[in-house]
Amino acid sequence: MELRTADIPTALEPAAELDRLGHEIAELSAHLDAATAHLLDLIREFDARGGWNTGFRSCAAWLTWRVGLSPGPAREHVRVARALGTLPLLRQALARGELSYSKVRELTRVATPETEERLLAVGRAGTAEHVERIVRGWRRVDAKAEARESARRHACRGLHVYRGEDGMVTLRGRLEPEVGAVLVQALAAAREALYQRRRATGGADGTEGVPAGTPRADISAEPPSLAQQQADALALLAETVLHHGIDPGAPGERYQVVVHVDAPVLADPDAPGQSVLEDGTHVSAETSRRLACDASRVVMRHAPDGQLLEVGARTRTIPPALRRALHHRDQGCRFPGCGLPSGQGHHIRHWAQGGPTTLSNLLSLCRAHHRAVHEEGYQVDRRSDGVLQFRRPTGQLLPEVPPPAAIPADPVQALRAQHEAQGLHIHARTAMPGWLGEPLDVGYAIDVLHPLALQTHPTS
Ligand SMILES: [Zn+2]
Ligand SMILES: [Zn+2]
């Protein structure tokens, strides 16, 4: 028993010694926060300049791969870095080690250039827990304001159809953003279909690229203006609906992709021929190869005269048992640093070129990375020992795990020295909150801080 007393620090440890330890923790934490501000500056610049756009889906995905951050914290770093770009006061407070990263992370969820100063005061005065509770209350007020705004937009949707004296019909309307997006997309698809139709019948667009001054085959056929094309597209949409009936279909069917492809194109992307989506949109040969790669799509092959040769891809579908084995083996996208759980099967050697549909010739890739290897020049091979090798379009190897960064022998001392050299004098009380221990009334705090708070409960 006497032996164990040495393990129990309590009264035996001089209080001054523990104070010193606490000071050291506080001081180093403030140094780390100051260094984090610099790190976020670098991330913001890297993100803005697209430095991550070398096969990665996002700056966060790159951070996960290169720095080893978990996906959640990586996304938070990028979010906070972007937010601080417009919040100079919060950025400076972090850079001076006066406000912890945790507080800044919370405050940037709600801060705008207009509210930044008030929220900085909250950050300085309160503990991290206070800040979190105030931000939560703040977001509730924001959410209510947003819900009001969305209800307002929904209420003022409308479409007015007038018939003028000359018989022309005039449209005027306001659509909610997501409905507008569907309309814009539908109009674009209809315009594209009309363009294809005109090209197929040798219309005015056939003269594209003819040198100026060359007489057109049909002088009266001026290309229609964009407004005229939109009108034609809307008419086509209306005809299509009346012809096929109004049925938006199940989500799976709505987005099904059907590719019409000239037979030689699949085997060799450089072969002449065309690939056309069901809606008439032209896609590149590589795109049609990607869509056919995981052939849960229907590929219709056409003879040179346009006649349907075969509906062939169903026979190439990766069988369910093989797909399960593939998912089990790959556990999501295999592109370095990705790991998204849902994957498409990619044939390393395309089946149209004789590649077998076997585990060793298949790997899982997410949609974005499947696109990267087909359309963006990324390459993937499986070495004879089974290891996958990804290469950038330049041929440079893209390693699964990047080499670690070189760091000085005593990184803490280096950080201190660097901050001293910047004129930054960080000590144990740099990040101390001004809170004196009184209880926090979040409701009151929000009422006096949030610019919209009073609109939310006007009577109270
Ligand atoms: Zn593929
Ligand atoms: Zn991926």
Digit-coded pLDDT (tens) for 271-280: 666 666 655 5
- The boundaries of the domain holding residue 302 are 256-317
429 lies in a domain?
no
Structure tokens at 409: 């022998």
Distance 40 CA to ligand 2 centre (A): 25
Position 293 pLDDT exceeds 50: yes
Say how many C-beta atoms besides its own lie within 10 A of residue 456's C-beta: 17
pLDDT of residue 450: 87
Most confident of 243-257, 414-428, 433-447: 414-428
Ligand nearest to the CA of 390: 2
Q: How many domains does the chain have?
A: 4
Q: What is the percent of the chain where pLDDT is above 70?
A: 78
pTM: 0.59
pLDDT band at residue 171 using 50, 70 and 90 as cut-offs: very high
Distance 55 CA to ligand 2 centre (A): 9
167 lies in a domain?
no
166 lies in a domain?
no
Q: What is the mean pLDDT of residues 318-322?
A: 80
Ligand nearest to the CA of 286: 1
Distance 63 CA to ligand 2 centre (A): 14
pLDDT band at residue 250 using 50, 70 and 90 as cut-offs: very low
181 lies in a domain?
no
Q: What is the mean pLDDT of residues 263-287?
A: 63
pLDDT of residue 146: 76
Phi, psi of 259 (to 5 degrees): -110, 130
| Least confidently predicted of 3-7, 42-46, 182-186, 264-268 | 3-7
pLDDT band at residue 313 using 50, 70 and 90 as cut-offs: very low
Distance 425 CA to ligand 1 centre (A): 55
pLDDT of residue 324: 85
pLDDT of residue 433: 82
Question: What beta strand segments (E) does 247-403 contain?
Answer: 258-262, 275-277, 282-283, 298-302, 308-311, 344-347, 362-365, 379-382, 388-391, 397-398
pLDDT of residue 214: 38
Instruction: Give the length of the chain.
Output: 460
- Whether 335 and 390 have beta carbons less than 8 Å apart is answered as yes
Distance 68 CA to ligand 2 centre (A): 17
Domain edge (last residue) among 281, 298, 317: 317
Q: How far apart are CA 76 and CA 69, in angstroms?
A: 10
Distance 347 CA to ligand 1 centre (A): 5
| Least confidently predicted of 22-36, 51-65, 138-152, 446-460 | 446-460
Position 356 pLDDT exceeds 80: yes
Say how many C-beta atoms besides its own lie within 10 A of residue 435's C-beta: 13
pLDDT of residue 272: 60
Question: Are 370 and 282 part of one and the same domain?
Answer: no
369 lies in a domain?
yes
Distance 63 CA to ligand 1 centre (A): 26
Distance 73 CA to ligand 1 centre (A): 31
Question: Are 354 and 444 part of one and the same domain?
Answer: no
Position 399 pLDDT exceeds 60: yes
Question: Are 18 and 147 part of one and the same domain?
Answer: yes
Ligand nearest to the CA of 334: 2
Domain edge (last residue) among 266, 297, 317: 317
Predicted confidence (pLDDT) per residue in 8-57, tens digit = 555 556 888 888 999 899 999 999 999 999 999 999 999 999 999 888 88
Predicted confidence (pLDDT) per residue in 87-145, tens digit = 999 999 999 999 999 999 999 999 999 999 999 999 999 899 999 999 999 888 887 88
430 lies in a domain?
no
Question: Are 308 and 323 part of one and the same domain?
Answer: no
Question: Are 262 and 370 part of one and the same domain?
Answer: no
421 lies in a domain?
no
Position 258 pLDDT exceeds 70: no
67 lies in a domain?
yes
Ligand nearest to the CA of 355: 1
Ligand nearest to the CA of 339: 2
Question: Are 385 and 354 part of one and the same domain?
Answer: yes
pLDDT band at residue 296 using 50, 70 and 90 as cut-offs: low
Ligand nearest to the CA of 333: 2
pLDDT band at residue 211 using 50, 70 and 90 as cut-offs: very low
Find the Cα–Cα–Cα–Cα dihedral 103, 64, 404, 30, rounded to 10°. Answer: 0
Distance 179 CA to ligand 2 centre (A): 30
Position 370 pLDDT exceeds 50: yes
Ligand nearest to the CA of 64: 2
Report the chain's mean pLDDT, rounded to a whole number: 80
Ion ligand 1: residues, CB within 5 A, are: 293, 346
Question: Are 145 and 20 part of one and the same domain?
Answer: yes
pLDDT of residue 51: 92
Distance 401 CA to ligand 2 centre (A): 15
Distance 281 CA to ligand 1 centre (A): 20
Q: Helix (H, G, I), strand (E, B), or coil: what is residue 459?
A: coil
Distance 361 CA to ligand 2 centre (A): 18
Contacts of 99 (CB under 8 A, 6+ apart): 33, 90, 93, 107, 120, 123, 124, 431
Question: Are 122 and 39 part of one and the same domain?
Answer: yes
Contacts of 59 (CB under 8 A, 6+ apart): 43, 46, 47, 51, 52, 78
Q: How far apart are CA 254 and CA 245, in angstroms?
A: 14
Distance 349 CA to ligand 1 centre (A): 9
Question: Are 394 and 441 part of one and the same domain?
Answer: no
Position 2 pLDDT exceeds 50: no
pLDDT band at residue 184 using 50, 70 and 90 as cut-offs: confident
pLDDT of residue 306: 63
More confident residue, 175 or 78: 78
Question: Are 344 and 274 part of one and the same domain?
Answer: no
Distance 345 CA to ligand 1 centre (A): 7
pLDDT band at residue 266 using 50, 70 and 90 as cut-offs: low
Distance 291 CA to ligand 1 centre (A): 8
pLDDT band at residue 308 using 50, 70 and 90 as cut-offs: low
Question: Are 190 and 313 part of one and the same domain?
Answer: no
Ligand nearest to the CA of 380: 1
pLDDT of residue 95: 94
Structure tokens at 68: 């080893």
Ligand nearest to the CA of 58: 2
Distance 197 CA to ligand 1 centre (A): 30
Question: Are 383 and 443 part of one and the same domain?
Answer: no
pLDDT band at residue 312 using 50, 70 and 90 as cut-offs: low
